[in-house]
Structure 1
Amino acid sequence: MPAAYWVNTFREVRDPARLAAYAEAAGSVMETYGGRFLARGMPAAVFEEAPMERTTVIEFPSVERAVEAYESAEYQAALAVLGDGAVRDIRIVPAVGDGGG
C-alpha cells in the first residue's frame, strides 16, 4: 500500500494558544495512526501565487490511515480544542507511483 501525505496549511492563525493546545493534542493522534511529521513551520520560499502560510506535512502509511486519523474520535477532540483558533486547508495526497499522479 503506497504512502500518503497530509498537507495542512494555515490560512490564518486567530489564537496561537489554541493552536499550540491543538498541536499538542493532535500530534499523538497522528503518531497513533502511523503518521510521521516531515515538515512544520513557515515556508522557506513561496512561488507563483502561493501565500506565505504555516504548513505541516505528515507522512502516513496509506491514504486510508490518514483518513482514519482525521475521522477518529481522538482527532475530532483535538479539533474541538482548536475551535476557531485557525483557518486551515487540509489535503491528503497519495504518494507518486500509486496511479494517483
Structure 2
Amino acid sequence: MTAYWISLYREITDEAKLAAYAQLAGPALTGAGGTFLARGMPEQTYEAGEATRSVLIEFDSVDAARAAHDSPTYQEALAALDGGAVRDLRIVPGV
C-alpha cells in the first residue's frame, strides 16, 4: 500500500543548514524509492493552517518510507540539518 512522507517546517533557524540537508536528503529519498509530489510554501491555508514549508513524498509502502528515513544516507542528511529547522515529520499510509 502506498505511503506518504509529510514534513512540515514549523520554523527554519538556519538557512545554510537547511540547504546542506536538502542537498543530501533529496538524493537519499529518491534513491530509496521516494517521489516528491509537492514541496514549498502553501498557496492557501484554511482553518488552523499555518503558512509553513511543506514537503510531500510518495513511497511504495510504509516500510519503504521507514527504511528511507533510517538509511545511512538520510541519517547523514539529518546530521547536516543539525537543529537548522523545527519540523513535524510523519508517514501516513495511503487509502
Q: TM-score, normalised by structure 1?
A: 0.91
Instruction: Describe the superposition over 1:61-84 as per-residue Cα deviations: whole angstroms up to 9, x where unpaired.
Output: 111000001111111111000001
Q: Which runs of 4+ in 1 moved over 4 A?
A: none
Match of 1:58 in 2: 57
Fraction of identical pairs, as percent: 52
AA partner of residue 38 (structure 1): L
For structure 1, the residue ranges without an aligned partner over 5 or more in a row are 97-101
RMSD: 0.7
Larger Rg: 1
For structure 2, the residue ranges without an aligned partner over 5 or more in a row are none
Match of 1:17 in 2: 16
| Mapping for residues 88-99 of structure 1, pairs under 5 Å | 88-96=87-95
The count of residues paired between Structure 1 and Structure 2 equals 95
Q: TM-score, normalised by structure 2?
A: 0.97
Match of 1:71 in 2: 70
**In 1, Cα distance between equivalents of 2:9 and 2:33:** 22
Instruction: Describe the superposition over 1:7-59 as per-residue Cα deviations: whole angstroms up to 9, x where unpaired.
Output: 00000000111101101100111111100000000011111112111000000
**In 2, Cα distance between equivalents of 1:59 and 1:77:** 21
